[in-house]
């Protein structure tokens, strides 16, 4: 182990990152910035080609420094997984979605683990970063790797260290967000800690991979439950004719015992809408029902329906039905100022609007065209917002509060607005025109 630790500290360890998306690419860049040679793996040839040309395909990752790292041969990408044997550390950052039954779909983790197992050699460090249920690392990865007859903690080192990426967050970066590390053995944990200490300011050790796996789920379920709470409070406050945003801001002045969470049209992103179902599924193995978590999931999942009802109420004030109405949805990304549309509630809202006969268009400055999704295929492109477009649109639905939008100008020129993000200020100025949702 000392030899491996010394190799890491001297930056002679070659790093392999499998999965070059919102989680994997920032890790690639951090290791390269610290002087490590990094080989990125992905089945998406478009991503591989872009990386090898020094082109970033993620909005919040700047291209200049990234391009120089590629030019200096610090970063290279490939779709040839046999090259795993050429790297010393393998970090797995692949998706962990849900299947149609809303159960964990670990096909990407399993296929990646098989590729690693086929190329496993002495001295390899393997770390899973993908969000998953407690037991994945020791129940799925470890048995595959042990078939090689190599001994974990001696011949190879297996670690779980959950990703904590927050796309678009300028206050915290990959370097400054503390990293949780759990290992199959104490030696695995120690090696994992040394590896991540090269790129992360603070590394926090936990006793096992299962502890690390559950830590990640708790973080996101905490957010899910609190968002569900404010979403439910929003519906009640609306019935009471009270501004929930004002209530939250007032509550946030308390210096202890309260952390502000904000309502919206539903949950988006890869983690928060999905992680609770991973834990709920695993809990059934222990004859335990996560009632509180499942209730939060139900509330958040129901929010697009609430938004549709508010759209219909707004149109009713003009004696107009939703069927045949021209609706412009502002924002496809699941949160402001990013280009990430994974699990975005906007997609569900568009689908529901179309099912009810509305004529739907959208604008998002960061998502020029809607791709074919697992559930949806809208074949829509972003429309430029003009006075003419607004004049010919019956209702504008603000689903994502991107900073690029001029909300005052929108309020002046739109016929009707349903605002799910409290983006338009001075709503009293536009009574009868702007509706909160």
For residues 38 and 236, what is the distance between their CA atoms, to the nearest angstrom?
Answer: 52
Q: Which two tokens stand for residue 180?
A: 């949780």
Q: Which two tokens stand for residue 414?
A: 């739109």
Backbone angles phi, psi at 360, to 5 degrees: -110, 135
Q: Which two tokens stand for residue 73?
A: 């041969």
224 is catalytic: no
Specify whether the CB–CB gap between 63 and 56 falls below 8 A.
Answer: yes
How far from chain centre, in Å, is Cα 196?
Answer: 21
* DSSP structure class, residue 151: P
For residues 73 and 190, what is the distance between their CA atoms, to the nearest angstrom?
Answer: 29
CB burial of 355-388 (b: ≥16 within 10 Å; e: otherwise) equals: ebebebebbbbbbeebeeeeeeebebebeebeee
Catalytic residue from among 93, 127, 188, 271 = 271
Residue 53, Cβ density class (10 Å: 0-12 exposed, 13-18 middle, ≥19 buried)? exposed
Specify whether the CB–CB gap between 109 and 80 falls below 8 A.
Answer: no
Which residues carry out catalysis? 271
């Amino acid at each position: 182990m000392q030899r491996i630790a010394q190799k890491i500290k001297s930056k002679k360890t070659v790093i392999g990152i499998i999965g070059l998306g919102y989680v994997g690419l920032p890790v690639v860049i951090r290791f390269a910035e610290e002087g490590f040679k990094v080989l990125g793996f992905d089945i998406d040839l478009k991503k591989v080609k872009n990386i090898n040309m020094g082109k970033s395909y993620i909005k919040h990752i700047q291209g200049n420094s990234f391009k120089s790292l590629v030019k200096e041969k610090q970063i290279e990408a490939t779709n040839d997984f046999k090259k795993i044997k050429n790297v010393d550390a393998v970090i797995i950052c692949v998706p962990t979605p849900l299947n149609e039954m809303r159960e964990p779909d670990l096909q990407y983790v399993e296929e990646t683990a098989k590729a690693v197992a086929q190329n496993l050699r002495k001295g390899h460090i393997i770390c899973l970063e993908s969000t998953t249920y407690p037991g994945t690392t020791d129940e799925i990865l470890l048995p595959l790797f042990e078939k090689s007859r190599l001994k974990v903690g001696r011949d190879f080192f297996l670690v779980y260290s959950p990703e904590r990426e927050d796309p678009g967050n300028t206050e915290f970066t990959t370097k400054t967000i503390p990293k949780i590390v759990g290992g199959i053995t104490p030696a695995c944990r120690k090696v994992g800690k040394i590896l991540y200490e090269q790129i992360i300011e603070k590394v926090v050790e936990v006793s096992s991979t299962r502890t690390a796996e559950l830590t990640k789920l708790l973080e996101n379920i905490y957010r899910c439950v609190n968002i569900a709470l404010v979403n439910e409070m929003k519906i009640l406050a609306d019935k009471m004719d009270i501004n929930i945003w004002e209530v939250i801001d007032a509550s946030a002045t308390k210096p202890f015992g309260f952390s502000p969470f904000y309502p919206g049209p539903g949950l988006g992103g890869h983690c928060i809408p999905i992680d609770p179902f991973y834990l709920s599924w695993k809990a059934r193995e222990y004859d335990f029902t996560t009632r509180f978590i499942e209730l939060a999931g139900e509330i958040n999942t129901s929010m697009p329906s609430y938004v549709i009802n508010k759209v219909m109420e707004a149109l009713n004030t003009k004696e107009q039905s939703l069927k045949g109405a021209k609706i412009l949805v502002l924002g496809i990304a699941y949160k402001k100022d990013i280009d990430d549309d994974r699990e975005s509630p906007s997609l569900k809202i568009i689908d529901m609007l179309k099912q009810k006969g509305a004529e739907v268009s959208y604008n998002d400055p960061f998502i020029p065209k809607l791709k074919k999704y697992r559930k949806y295929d809208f074949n829509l492109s972003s429309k430029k917002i003009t006075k003419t477009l607004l004049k010919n649109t019956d209702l504008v639905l603000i689903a994502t509060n991107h900073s690029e939008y001029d909300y005052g100008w929108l309020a002046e020129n739109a016929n009707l607005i349903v605002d799910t993000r409290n983006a338009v200020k001075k709503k009293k100025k536009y009574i009868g025109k702007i509706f909160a949702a």
